[in-house]
Structure 1
Amino acid sequence: MDEIRRVAVECIGRAVMFGSLAIGCVMIGFSFNPVSAFRSGAFLTLAMALALMWKAMTAGIKNPKHTEVWLYLDEKSRPADGSARRVFGTVLSDVYKLYARIALGVAVGFFLVSLVLMLFGMEGYVPPSDRRLLVP
């Protein structure tokens, strides 16, 4: 079971890392407005947390042979009977829930940063070099 958990943490963690990379790219795209950058990061991270929660809920009914974790396990670590398949689903569900909790915490952090920046007047920020273009 420890081998299944180790491989699941690696596989799911890699998928979450690629999702986080995409979210970071979107946030950099909104870097002209920090409030929008953190708000978009918060919404996208929240969407990732919801996807991870969905995967956690459906991990128990999925055939282990159709998962990436199954491919990385050696023959002796793969579950063979019905009870071992339930253990496999439970381990996958636990790992998905772990990453969903982390993503939810990051999303809340992004929302808080966007709120603080908005309270300090960063909403609608225009760089000083562009302010002369706004005044007739």
Structure 2
Amino acid sequence: MTTRSASAKYEGLGKAGKGHVSLQSGVLTDQFYGFNTRFADEPGTNPEELIAAAHASCFTMALSFALAQAGYSDGTLETTAKVKLEQDGPGFKITRSDLVLTASVPGIEADEFEKIAGEAKAGCPISKVLNAEITLEHTLNG
């Protein structure tokens, strides 16, 4: 149905290497990434941050559509995703993505919201592609 793309270039090897990532949309073009943007606080991006952005936006959109399908027409959803990278033998593995949601949906009961949010978490395409634990903590503001 839809194909999206991104590209990455890495010049030099290991810690000394410097990478640049670009998105098909042009929102990121030659955005710097490297060892220090991934494991230290150097300005730039990193793969885990990009996955966190993808997961937060995908889940939030899935929940928005599920709430609309359930008959709700107004609300605000704000999600943060925290993607955890851990040592895995000689390499690394993303072990979890923790979604933290703050929502305001007038007229919804807490149990219905929790059910719809849980289904959106499980059904969002990024959740499906991640081979990691995915948690959801939410606050529903009345």
TM superposition score normalised by structure 2: 0.29
Structure having the larger proportion of residues in helix: 1
Higher relative contact order (CA 8 A, sep 6+): 1
Structure possessing the higher radius of gyration over alpha carbons: 1
When normalised by structure 1's length, the TM-score is 0.29
